């Protein structure tokens, strides 16, 4: 028995060491950690349990029969993150460049099935060269199995993709199917066709980083929700995100101890938000004043910056916050902002995270480009997401809310449980200036003093239809609140709504706009 145990330990040491010390040095020289070093950063110390460390491929030809390393280029298993079970797999770039073959894929399939059946989050640490060309169609079929499992687990368990190396071709679609994508600057890239193919087809010269680097996907395409400078920081933030999410769709998010009193007054809000609806301010400062310890975890911070989507806590309970950002494009809703917010609303609803919507929106962005690129169907995505959401939903109208954008930003008419407004709010079809120009066009034109008449009629319209209590008088706002008590109001409302239950009509699935 002792001899057999010694053999086992030797084989395990071989599997853990990888192909060679030179391969490890090469990985470090690229500025990247090994698969096991990454897993050590992800999991609580000493909690990782590996699955199938001795797995080897069965392929032959092209020299593969002479190279059968343990793990087959992917390390799979489970461990604890902040004391809760999490499953993860990590590509080992030192073995076949992390390329996916049949055995490699089967290991991932098994782990994904375990994560789904156990009701625990799944994290993929991606650093692979795509399909293993030597194995042909079996490698492609392996990707198909991953994609189908990503889809089946969507909205059931949190799925997080961490890009730590290249990800090209069809391999990019698994991260695209998951809930959150993290990237590291300088070492991770995602694209369907690489720079060489782009040049051959279009004649365009482009680098890997410009084509599909972290900054490109974080600020331009919106594929990456987060981008960081190094792997240590990236994986620490993955751990923090996991602390905000439930293990599955049948659980509530974890509650953390809170030393920040929920009835703390928000005196700073009086000066943060100008009463003049045309003046800009940073909505992040408003959110920081309301949430616990001023701590928020913003999703897609650099993409579609005219809307803020963030996870935070109020009274120790996780909330999802969607807010117009007057400091960027005046907080207008456009195609990208609508897509960003819709995706975030759907994610929060899937994982039982209450939604708070802070509204200061002048409307949808007008223009030929927006119309031709489908602002109608893209804007409808946000409308659909809110209407379909069954979690507690609270709207706060901070300042202005004009036109269809008011409706879309979770108004009472589409199902918000509670709607509050600050005493500077203006809710109308459009701003007073534009409304008066339309409604009183003939009267202004016939006046001997058109400009003076227009000013009078603008003020009349504002006093009649845009005063802060117009919507409250008609039951479309539940209360007009002192901004200084916004945090307390939200905390009490969330506590009341915690036991909310809403069942959607029986159906196979909805058919949202695309």
CA distance 286 to 118: 39
Q: Cα-flanking dihedrals φ and ψ of residue 228, to 5°?
A: -135, 165
Nearest residue to 52 via CA among 7, 109, 128 = 109
Other residues' Cβ atoms within 10 Å of the Cβ of residue 341: 28
Percentages helix, strand, coil for the chain, rounded to the nearest 5? 45, 20, 35
CA distance 353 to 347: 8
Q: Which of 170, 194, 222, 415 is catalytic?
A: 170
Q: Cα-flanking dihedrals φ and ψ of residue 284, to 5°?
A: -60, -35
Structure tokens at 306: 């005219």
DSSP string covering 158-180, please? Answer: -EEEEE-SEEEGGGGHHHHHSSE
Structure tokens at 440: 């009183």
CA distance 364 to 458: 22
H/E stretch holding 491 reads helix 486-497
Has 415 been annotated as catalytic? no
Q: Which of 105, 129, 405, 416 is catalytic?
A: 405
Has 213 been annotated as catalytic? no
Other residues' Cβ atoms within 10 Å of the Cβ of residue 374: 15
Q: Which residues are paired to 468 by β-bridges? A: none
Structure tokens at 423: 């005493």
CA distance 498 to 258: 17
Give me Rg for the CA atoms of the chain: 26
Q: Which of 97, 155, 169, 434 is catalytic?
A: 169
Rounded to a whole number, what is the largest CA-CA distance in the chain? 107
Has 170 been annotated as catalytic? yes
H/E stretch holding 49 reads strand 49-51
Has 404 been annotated as catalytic? yes
Q: Residue ranges of the alpha helices (H) in 56-183?
A: 102-118, 137-153, 173-177
Q: Which of 194, 404, 415, 434 is catalytic?
A: 404
Angle at 434 between CA 430 and CA 439, to 5 degrees: 95
- The 3-state DSSP class for residue 309 equals strand
CA distance 91 to 76: 9
Nearest residue to 182 via CA among 43, 79, 299, 81 = 299
DSSP string covering 352-419, please? Answer: T--EEEEEEE--BPPSHHHHHTTHHHHHHHHHHHHHH--S-EEEEEEEEEEHHHHHHTT-GGGT-SEE
Angle of helix 335-350 relative to helix 375-388, nearest 10 degrees, comes to 20
Nearest residue to 273 via CA among 430, 424, 405 = 424
Nearest residue to 56 via CA among 38, 80, 74, 42 = 74
**Catalytic positions, please?**
169-170, 404-405
């Amino acid at each position: 028995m002792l001899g057999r145990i010694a053999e086992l330990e030797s084989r395990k040491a071989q599997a853990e060491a990888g192909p060679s010390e030179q391969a490890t040095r090469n990985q470090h020289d690229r500025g990247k950690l090994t698969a096991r070093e990454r897993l050590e950063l992800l999991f609580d110390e000493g909690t990782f349990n590996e699955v199938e460390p001795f797995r080897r491929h069965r392929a032959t030809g092209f020299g593969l029969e002479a190279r059968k390393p343990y793990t087959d280029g992917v390390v799979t298993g489970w461990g604890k993150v902040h004391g809760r079970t999490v499953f993860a797999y990590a590509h080992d770039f030192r073995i076949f460049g992390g390329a996916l073959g049949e055995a490699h894929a089967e290991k991932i399939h098994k782990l994904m099935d375990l994560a789904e059946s156990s009701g625990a989050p799944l994290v993929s640490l991606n650093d692979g060269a795509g399909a293993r060309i030597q194995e042909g169609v079996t490698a492609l079929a392996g990707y198909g199995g991953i994609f189908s499992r990503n889809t089946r687990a969507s909205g059931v368990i949190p799925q997080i993709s961490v890009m730590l190396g290249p990800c090209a071709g069809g391999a990019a679609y698994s991260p695209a199917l998951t809930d959150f994508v993290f990237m590291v600057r300088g070492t991770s890239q995602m694209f369907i066709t690489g720079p060489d193919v782009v040049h051959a087809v279009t004649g365009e010269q482009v680098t890997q980083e410009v084509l599909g680097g972290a900054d490109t996907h974080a600020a331009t395409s919106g594929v990456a929700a987060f981008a960081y400078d190094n792997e240590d920081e990236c994986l620490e933030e993955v751990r923090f995100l996991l602390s905000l999410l439930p293990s599955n769709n049948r659980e509530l998010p974890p509650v953390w101890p809170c030393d920040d009193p929920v009835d703390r007054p928000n005196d700073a809000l009086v000066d943060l938000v100008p009463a003049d609806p045309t003046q800009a301010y940073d909505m992040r400062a408003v959110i920081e004043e309301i949430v616990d310890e001023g701590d928020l975890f913003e999703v897609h911070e650099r993409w579609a910056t005219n809307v803020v989507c963030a996870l935070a806590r109020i009274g120790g309970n996780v909330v999802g916050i969607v807010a117009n950002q007057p400091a960027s494009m005046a907080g207008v809703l456009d195609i990208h902002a609508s897509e960003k917010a819709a995706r975030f609303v759907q994610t929060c609803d899937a994982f039982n995270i209450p939604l708070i919507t802070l509204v200061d929106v002048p409307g949808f962005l007008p223009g030929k480009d927006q119309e031709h690129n489908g602002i109608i169907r893209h804007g409808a995505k946000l409308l659909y997401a809110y209407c379909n959401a069954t979690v507690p939903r609270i709207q706060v109208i901070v300042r202005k809310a004009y036109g269809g954008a008011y409706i879309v930003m979770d108004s009472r008419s589409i199902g918000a449980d509670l709607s509050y407004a600050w005493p500077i709010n203006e809710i109308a079809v459009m701003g007073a200036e534009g409304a008066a120009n339309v409604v009183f066009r003939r009267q202004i034109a016939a006046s001997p003093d058109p400009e003076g008449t227009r000013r009078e009629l603008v003020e009349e319209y504002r006093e009649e239809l845009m005063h802060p209590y117009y919507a409250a008088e008609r039951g479309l706002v539940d209360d007009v609140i002192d901004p200084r008590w916004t945090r307390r109001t939200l905390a009490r409302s969330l506590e009341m709504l915690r036991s909310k239950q809403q069942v959607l009509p029986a159906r196979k699935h909805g058919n949202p706009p695309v």
